[in-house]
Amino acid sequence: MFFHITTQLQYKKNNSIKQRNNMDKQRLPMPEIINDDKHRHKQFNGHFDSNRFRPPKVKTRYIAVENNNLNRSQSSGSCSANNSQIAHAISFRGGSECSDAGILPTSPSAAAAASSMSTTSCNMSHFEQCFERLTKLGEGSFGEVFQVRDRSDSRLYAVKISKQLFRGEQYRAERLEEVRRYEEFSGHENCIRFIRAWEQYDRLFMQMELCRESLEQYLYRCRHIPEDRIWHILLDLLRGLKSLHDRNLIHLDIKLENVLIDDDDTCKLADFGLVIDVDKANNHQATEGDSRYMAPEILQGHFSKAADIFSLGIAMLELSCYMDLPSNGPLWHELRQGKLPEEFISKISVELQQVIKCMMSPDPRQRATTEQLLAHPRLVRMQKQEKSMVTLKLLSKCFRRSRRAFWLKMCNLKTAAYRCLFYLLEILHLYKPITSSQTPMYNGNTATAAPSSPSTSVAGVPRLEFQLVGSTPIGNRDCYISDFLLAMDMDLSQHGTPTACERENLVNSTPINHNHLTANRQRSSSARKTRPEKSNLLSVDENCSFVSSPSKVLETSSFRGKKLFTLDVDEE
């Protein structure tokens, strides 16, 4: 196999340059300026400095003369004019090297949404049909990322659209590799969750989970990040990186912009555009990332896992010291010779200093691995704490569940008590039960004698059954008989006495909000049928009046306002 090496300089997009420059000026304090380049730290003056360019991205490419491993014949999406008009799903999940799926079907909801819009759906891209574009989240050298709302489930996602058209097979294959990596690491807690990808009009679209912000944005927002938080970020990123290194893959583009923070404050590795196999890296095709984060040995064309460790180390330095990293010049070299500027490094604890220095060791063989770093006493302690937190969470969940079970038991006891009371009243002839044969049933407009059913099998004590559905509006509040009776009254006033079927639906729905009653009937009834083991079925014996006639309902007024039980719905 023969390879030729091409070296090229790639400049970052002006937009992100501006953004960074704008934020640059927020960084304080300014160290003593000795050399223009050496201490060119970030400041912020409230507006973008368009004159200052972002560091160029030096790219050393080792391009195999041999064709890439993507099987083009399998792909229905191509650069050809005809085919590129049609959206094609891209997925490597099937196990094959490139299992491009076929033409994407338009989901009915997406089609409906599209047709409801003024633009004719046939002119709309798959992206426009499926998503409502909200805001632009960011931009890198390869793509623009938008916050979107999925028309089918109304949820928010991020969609990355490649900026450049597929110029040819090689370029397309490189872009599609990112999909493979996203899919591979999507399940890891510290890697971004990937949803799906497709290509259309010679562009790649990738749908992924929406994160709150990038680590770079977080740094500019907070300026000073407490050291405790730095350690947590380091732990998250080491875990994410370990998942790559365990598979013999290297990221090659670790930097603050490529780390995203989700709503739970978890840091996630993103942008797998340059990820490459360690073995292939030095032989085939490797592109190094941002020069500010680049390990020194990359200049000699040595790609290894240690390069990622260096990038992470220097990113931690930037994060903990609020230091502007140089893209070249004397300071760039000093940082790669193990000389970290005192005025910055002295701000952080010795423990963190040591870790950063260890990660930024000039010799890649002396740099700690992800396993060694994760074995650092502080990180071990944090992991233990996390574990105990998980145990604590599990315990509290167990406690909540047992508390709920206890309440259900109590409710059953109450039910039994009511039952006994009715029996007693019946014995004392203070209460006349209505037997099942007396219970009129409505079949349309005609009242018929009801067949004896389990719900009225106990003489005089018809059973009122209702199901607790966690998502219904009844959740987390006290339940009063009146809640149920109110709904029954309303139902009876509309329909007269319900049929057996109606009664079952009635009691199975959550009667707090009568507007939901009709809808709930079907849903809860079917839910009960399909998931009987999950339902928390309560049986409450109640005065039978509600089934005999509307006027009898009034007799139950003595129960109104009586607290039956407290619902404690598990938050789970």
Ligand X SMILES: Nc1ncnc2c1ncn2[C@@H]1O[C@H](COP(=O)(O)OP(=O)(O)OP(=O)(O)O)[C@@H](O)[C@H]1O
Tell whether residue 510 is a contact of Mg ion (CB under 5 A). no
> In the complex with Mg ion, which residue's Cβ is closer, 258 or 327?
258
Tell whether residue 270 is a contact of ligand X (CB under 6 A). yes
- From 20, 22, 127, 140, residue interacting with Mg ion (rule: CB under 5 A): 140
> In the complex with ligand X, which residue's Cβ is closer, 220 or 484?
220
Q: Give the type of residue at 319.
A: L
Question: How far is Cα 189 from Cα 266, in angstroms, rounded to an integer?
Answer: 8
Total residue count of the chain as it appears in this document = 572
Report how far apart, in Å, the C-alpha atoms of 323 and of each of 218, 263, 527 are: 14, 26, 57
Q: Give the type of residue at 108.
A: P
Q: Coil, strand, or helix at residue 116?
A: helix
The string of DSSP codes covering 458-519 is STT--EEEEEE-TTSTTTTSEEEHHHHHHHHHHHHHHHSSPPHHHHHHHHHS-TTSGGGHHH
Contact 57, 9 (CB under 8 A): yes
Tell whether residue 214 is a contact of ligand X (CB under 6 A). yes
The distance of closest approach from Cβ of residue 257 to Mg ion in the complex, given in angstroms and rounded to an integer, is: 5
Partner whose binding site includes residue 141, from Mg ion, ligand X, none (CB under 5 to 8 Å by kind): ligand X
**Which of the residues 180 through 209 are near ligand X (CB under 6 A)?**
192, 208-209
| Catalytic entry in 24, 253, 271, 290 | 253
Partner whose binding site includes residue 231, from ligand X, Mg ion, none (CB under 5 to 8 Å by kind): none
Tell whether residue 241 is a contact of ligand X (CB under 6 A). no
- From 271, 297, 308, 491, residue interacting with Mg ion (rule: CB under 5 A): 271
Partner whose binding site includes residue 211, from Mg ion, ligand X, none (CB under 5 to 8 Å by kind): ligand X
Partner whose binding site includes residue 138, from Mg ion, ligand X, none (CB under 5 to 8 Å by kind): ligand X
Q: Look at phi and psi of residue 461 and say left if phi exceeds 0, alpha if psi is from -120 to 50, else beta.
A: beta
Please choose, out of 26-34, 257-265, 304-312, 428-436, the segment that lies near ligand X by the rule CB under 6 A. 257-265
Closest residue to ligand X, judged by C-beta, is 140
Partner whose binding site includes residue 326, from ligand X, Mg ion, none (CB under 5 to 8 Å by kind): none
**Which of the residues 241 through 270 are near Mg ion (CB under 5 A)?**
258
Report how far apart, in Å, the C-alpha atoms of 418 and of each of 77, 221, 516 are: 70, 61, 29
Q: What angle do CA 54, 56, 62 make, to 5 degrees?
A: 150
Partner whose binding site includes residue 542, from Mg ion, ligand X, none (CB under 5 to 8 Å by kind): none
- Asked whether residue 414 is marked as a ligand-binding residue, the answer is no
Tell whether residue 258 is a contact of ligand X (CB under 6 A). yes
Tell whether residue 55 is a contact of ligand X (CB under 6 A). no
Run of H or E residues at 355: helix 350-359
Question: How many positions of this chain bind ligand X (CB under 6 A)?
Answer: 23
Beta bridge pairs of residue 136: 146
Task: Quote the tokens at residue 103.
Answer: 């033409």
> In the complex with ligand X, which residue's Cβ is closer, 236 or 257?
257
> In the complex with ligand X, which residue's Cβ is closer, 257 or 318?
257
> In the annotation, is 236 catalytic?
no
Q: Look at phi and psi of residue 317 and say left if phi exceeds 0, alpha if psi is from -120 to 50, else beta.
A: alpha
The distance of closest approach from Cβ of residue 140 to Mg ion in the complex, given in angstroms and rounded to an integer, is: 4
Question: How far is Cα 25 from Cα 44, in angstroms, rounded to an integer?
Answer: 2
Q: What angle do CA 241, 236, 396 make, to 5 degrees?
A: 135
**What b-and-e string marks burial along 339-370, b requiring 16 or more CB atoms within 10 Å of the CB?**
ebbeebbebbeeebbebbebbbbeebeebbeb
Please choose, out of 120-128, 256-264, 305-313, 406-414, the segment that lies near ligand X by the rule CB under 6 A. 256-264
Tell whether residue 141 is a contact of ligand X (CB under 6 A). yes
> In the complex with ligand X, which residue's Cβ is closer, 167 or 381?
167
> In the complex with Mg ion, which residue's Cβ is closer, 22 or 258?
258
Q: Which residues are annotated as a binding site?
A: 160
* Residues binding ligand X (CB under 6 A): 137-143, 145, 158, 160, 192, 208-211, 214, 253, 257-258, 260, 270-271, 273
Q: Which residues are annotated as a binding site for ATP?
A: 160
Q: What residues are labeled active site?
A: 253
